[in-house]
Structure 1
Amino acid sequence: MRQLSELDASFLYLESEIAPMHIGGVYLFDASERQEPLPFGTFVAYLRSRLHVVPVFRQRLKEIPLRLGRPYWIDDTEFSIERHLAYVNLGEQGRRESLTTLAARILEEPLKRDRPLWHITFVDGFRLDDRPDGNEGFALIVKLHHAAIDAFSGEEIISKLLEYTPSPRPITPPKPWHPSPQPSDERVMLQAGANMLRTPLQVTSLAFTAAEATARGLIQKQLRKLPLPLPLFSAPHSPFNRQITGHRQIVSATVELSRLKSVKAALGDVTLNDVVLGLCAEALKRYLHRQGADTDRSLVAITPISVRSNSLRRATGNQMSAMLLELATNEPDPARRIHRIHWNAVASEPYREAIAADRLTEMLPSPMLALSARLYSELQVAQRYQPVFNLPITNVPGPQVPLYLQGARLVQQYNTAPLFDSLGLVIVAVSYQGNLTINFTLCPDVVANGEALTGDIEDSLKAIEEAANGLEAWNQPEDAPIPVPQTLTDEALTAMEKVLKGVLGRFRS
């Protein structure tokens, strides 16, 4: 038995019929170099032979009665790969537009909890080019629950399942697998009780970590003479922050990494991630202008930060912290905006490794966390108050060498992330083989005309390139106020501190 972390479990508690909490991917393969199209049966045999590299593929959830503790991953003694696979033949409709429409419909459906939390749809009859004689290929539509992986580990899993050479690897019989017996309810309850006894030690550990992080932050503020951080719920209202429905749409745009690196070189002291965030910010600003939305205040993004260690690396689970970051969308110059984004990120450096997101959730018992997540949605908290952030933006570095599946080359991938209450848009950027694909997962009932974002990316990059070439050397003035976004965990601790002070004040009076 392996217990979910509180962060992993929170994705289970946030899930609803209109807000499934899985990470998705659409992978397009060129099979023109194969002597014959890849049969679905061959794919099943290949995947069966590779199951041992991803143990979570054969593990399901074991819930604890009354949610007295977090669920466990246990071996699925009745595992059957056929329950996780589907076959679709697009026939004459095998174009990218019909594929993304199909993927959106599939990704709208939550994964079933009575089995391991993943599913793959094999799409046949697909042509890479939108013409009758285009290269033959196939596609995979993959769903992996966010409780089992984060965006970074998801990319690792796909890389492990695929091959690095165009020569098909011989498909060997699957390695013997002997699942552990299903634990009894009594054992699970005893284990949950033992974990609850350890909770005070976890809270104490968290308190020391929080104190250390606060001390580091205060010292850094004094040294840099920075103003106080952004207050909680300070992000502006935007068209993205409205009640979502169960409908989904996938919109993507691909740009060459070399163009982004040229912008980075022209701007100087910025990172490639800053350029990606600046590109997203310019595209979002153009969209807001078309919608007639107020752009006087900057959008605030939440950017996940992987806290994975090379010496302690797990293939699954969420090992992340998060940082709130102003996108400077109220800055008119798209090149100068990238500099501002860089300074915003640098200013919040003391908080990046302060407390990982999963450590913050250790403070809340599982029943309280589940109830909080449900009440957040049902009471429409995000709609009644200003949002903490407007949207998540995740930049995941992918392999720069080609990947293959039985001689078929992976040519393109689209990645999606879950939406939840009052969060109608998520951006996931993934690089592969010299290109960066920027993927918009959106609710079309909230983000109208979202398909226009594809053109906005190309127009935005051109505008950034022109501005970067004409931008004079830019330095942040030493006495200029630097907006300092905090990590999400630090924001939450600040809010909790205010609540505790209020309670203590009432007791003293």
Structure 2
Amino acid sequence: MHQLSELDASFLYLESETTPMHIGGVYLFDASGLETPVSYATFIKYICSRLHVAPMFRQKLKEIPLRLGRPYWVDDSEFSIERHLAYVSLGERGKKTCVNALAAKILEEPLKRDRPLWHITFVDGFKLDTPEGDKDGFALIVKLHHASIDAFSGEEIMGKLLEYSPVPRAINPPRPWQPRTEPSEERVFLQAGANMLKAPMQFASLAYNTAEAAARGLIQKQIHKLPLPASLFTAPHCPFNRQITGNRSIVSASVELARLKTIKAQLGDVTLNDVVLGICAEALNRYLITQGTKTTTPLVAMTPISVRSSSLRRATGNQMSAMLLNLATNETDPALRIRHIHRNAVETEPYREAIAADRLTELLPSTLLALSARLYSELRVARNYQPLFNLPITNVPGPQVPMYLQGAKLVQQYNTAPLFDSMGLVIVAVSYEGMVTLNFTLCPDVVRDGESLEGLVHDSLDAIERRAEAAGEAVIDQPGDASPKSLSNEIYNYLEGLLKKRPLRFWR
């Protein structure tokens, strides 16, 4: 048995009717050059031959009685591929807009918990819109639960499922697989008890971290009674920071990777990730202007960072850290803003430790985290308080060589991420074969006119290109204090100033 981490389990407990917690993907294939089309029956055989690439495909959840601990992953002795695949034919209407609309509806539905947490819909009748005219193809709509993967490992799993050769290979029979016997309720109960007994030893081995966490907790009890310094957590209210519904919409915009590399070269000491974030910031800026809600306070993004193992043979799960990043949307020059974003990212580097996802959940049980999120939603806290950040933005590197499924070429992919209450918009950027696709997962009841984001991305890239050369020569004023910043130091410095003015009684 492999037990879920606190972070993985939190994605299970956070799930509700309006917040399904799976990562989604829409994959479009060109099958026009094939002598024999890829049928649904062929696809079933193909998937069966590839199930060995990751254990998660044949493992399901095993709950602990009375929820005395986190669930386990166990082999599904009743595994059936038919429970994870579906077929949809679009007839003659299968353009990209139809596929995206279908995907939005499919992705609104949570995955069923009595089986491995993944599902693929095979979409037949898809027509690729190309300059040469419509071409025959098909699409895949994929759902993988966030409790079993993160965006980075999900991209690698899809890479393992597909092929790198345009020549259709013979489909091998499935590798022999014998599920391990599912543990009894008594065995799971005993294992939960053993884990509880080991907890004191684990806390002892983490004495330093526990003491540090306790000290921080002591300070936090006082922080909530005091006005926070202006430099901390000042994300403004935005239209997409409101309570969401269960409706979903997918908007995507693709740009050439070469154009982004040119901007990077012109701006100098920045990264490609900074350029991607700069395009996102400019597009969001323009969107807020069109909605009449432009704010002078810079938007703040949460950017996940993968810290996972490079081997899919190990437990996949969620192995990531994150940092809060000021997107400098108060800067009027969209190209110069990218240099500000780079500086903010460098200065924010120490913040990673402060909000690393695994450390946040070490001492905070996943059930308590879920309860807090539910109360946050039901009490509509987002309406009365400023958000910690405005939206997540994830940049996932993908393969730059073409990939195939039985000779059909993957021409484009769109990726989605879960939404939360007060987080009605998520951006996932994925690169593939010389293109970068910005994928906007949004709640249309919160983010109105979301389809305009596609055009705004292209307008933003054009504007950045026009200003890139001049911005590359500009000098950004550096802060007077060049010493590295950290979250704890800023809090301590702020409290030190307060202590000099009036005493604080920490024992209350």
Could you state the TM-score of these two structures normalised by the residue count of structure 2? Answer: 0.90
The 8 Å contact of residues 54 and 313 in structure 2, kept in 1 or not, is answered as: no
Deviation at 1:92, TM superposition (A): 1.4
* Structure 1 equivalent of residue 19 of structure 2: 19
After superposition, give the CA deviation of every residue in 1:338-363 in whole Å (9 maximum; x if it has no partner). Answer: 01100110002223356731232020
Q: Show CA shifts across 1:106-142 (max 9, x none).
A: 0000000111100000000011117995110000000
Number of paired residues? 487
Pairing 1:379-418 to 2, within 5 Å after superposition: 379-418=379-418
User: Is the alpha carbon distance of 1:20 and 1:182 closer, same or farther for their aligned partners in structure 2, counting shifts above 3 Å?
Assistant: same
Identity %: 70
> Residue type of the partner of 2:414?
Y
Alignment of 1:127-146 (within 5 A): 127-129=127-129, 134-146=134-146
In 2 relative to 1, CA 485–464 (structure 1 residues): closer, same or farther, beyond 3 Å? Answer: farther
Residue 474 (structure 1) shift:
3.2
Q: How does 1:80-99 map to 2 (within 5 A)?
A: 80-99=80-99
- Distance in structure 2 (CA, Å) of the matches to 1:231 and 1:213: 22
Instruction: Specify the SS of the correspondent of 1:92.
Output: strand
What SS does structure 2 have at the residue aligned with 1:280? helix
Q: Is the deviation greater in 452-461 or in 124-133?
A: 124-133
Which deviates more, 294-303 or 203-212?
203-212
Name the aligned partner's letter for residue 324 of structure 1: L
Q: Do the aligned partners of 1:253 and 1:457 also contact (CA within 8 Å) in 2? A: yes
1:126 aligns with 2:126: yes
Q: Report the 3-state secondary structure (helix = DSSP H, G, I; strand = E; otherwise coil) of the residue aligned with 1:362.
A: coil
The corresponding residue for 1:376 is: 376
Contact 2:268/2:472 (<8 A) preserved: no
**1:304 maps onto 2:304 in alignment:** yes
Alignment of 1:167-316 (within 5 A): 167-203=167-203, 208-209=208-209, 233-310=233-310, 314=314, 316=316
SS for the counterpart of 1:419 is coil
Gaps of at least 5 residues in structure 1 are 216-227
> 202-211 vs 145-154, which deviates more?
202-211
CA 1:376–1:40: 2 relative to 1, 3 Å: same
Once residues 125 and 64 of structure 2 are traced to their aligned partners in structure 1, the CA distance between those partners, rounded to angstroms, is 44
State the SS of the aligned residue for 1:374: helix
CA distance in 2, matches of 1:134, 1:312: 38
Q: Which deviations, in whole Å up to 9, do the C-alpha atoms of 1:235-277 show, x marking residues without a partner?
A: 1100010110110000000000000000000000000100000
Residues 157 and 315 in structure 1, CA contact (< 8 A), matched pair in contact too:
no
Contact preservation (8 Å) 2:249, 2:442: yes
Contact 2:54 2:312 in 1 (8 A): no
Residue pair 1:206, 1:360 contacting (<8 A) in 2 also: no
The residue number in structure 2 matching 1:327 is: 327
Q: Once the two structures are superposed, what CA deviation does each residue of 1:74-127 show, in whole Å capped at 9, x if it has no partner?
A: 111111000011000000111011110000000000000111100000000011
* Range moving further from structure 2, 357-366 or 411-420: 357-366
Quick check: 1:52 aligned with 2:21? no
Decide whether aligned partners of structure 1 residues 190 and 466 sit closer, same or farther in structure 2, where only a CA change above 3 A counts.
same
The question of whether the paired residues in 2 share the 8 Å contact of 1:213 and 1:354 is answered with no
1:334–1:164: structure 2 CA closer, same or farther, 3 Å change rule?
A: same
> Within 1, Cα distance between the matches of 2:102 and 2:485?
38
Superposed displacement of residue 454, structure 1:
0.3
- Tell me if the contact between 1:232 and 1:388 (Cα under 8 Å) persists in the aligned partners: no
**How far apart, in 1, do the equivalents of 2:61 and 2:45 lie?**
25
Rounded to whole Å, the distance in 2 between the matches of 1:249 and 1:484 is: 41
Q: What's the offset of the Cα at 1:214? A: 13
Q: Is the 8 A contact 1:209 1:354 kept in 2?
A: no
Alpha-carbon distance in 2 for matches of 1:362, 1:416 = 27
Indicate the residue corresponding to 1:223 in structure 2. Answer: none
- The answer to whether the 8 A contact 2:252-2:439 is kept is yes
One-letter identity of the residue aligned with 1:87: Y
Equivalence for 2:218: none
Please list, as runs of the form range in 1=range in 2, the aligned pairs for 1:30-49 lying within 5 A after superposition.
Answer: 30-49=30-49
Query: How large is the RMSD of aligned CA atoms in angstroms?
Result: 2.9
2:14 alignment partner AA = L
**Unmatched 5+ residue regions in structure 2?**
216-227
Which amino acid counterpart does residue 191 of structure 2 have in structure 1? Answer: Q
Q: CA deviation at 1:13?
A: 1.0
Q: Which amino acid counterpart does residue 408 of structure 2 have in structure 1?
A: A
Q: Retained in 2: the 8 A contact 1:256–1:436?
A: yes
**Partner of 1:66 in structure 2?**
66
Select between 191-200 and 143-152 the one with higher mean Cα deviation: 191-200
Is 1:4 paired with 2:4? yes
Residue in structure 2 matched with residue 361 of structure 1 by the alignment: 361
Q: Structure 1 residues 484 and 124 mapped into 2: Cα distance closer, same or farther (>3 Å)?
A: farther
Secondary structure, counterpart of 2:399 in structure 1: coil
Checking the alignment, whether the CA contact within 8 Å between 1:296 and 1:330 is kept in structure 2 is: yes
* Distance change in 2, residues 1:199/1:485 (3 Å): farther
Question: For the Cα contact (< 8 Å) 1:203–1:363, is it kept in 2?
Answer: no
Aligned counterpart, 1:431: 431
8 Å Cα contact 2:13/2:366 also seen in 1 = no
Give the whole-Å Cα distance in 1 for the aligned partners of 2:100 and 2:20: 18
Query: After alignment, is 180-189 or 230-239 more displaced?
Result: 230-239
The structural deviation recorded for 1:33 is 1.6
Partner of 1:334, secondary structure, is coil
Tell me the secondary structure at the aligned position of residue 88 of structure 1: strand
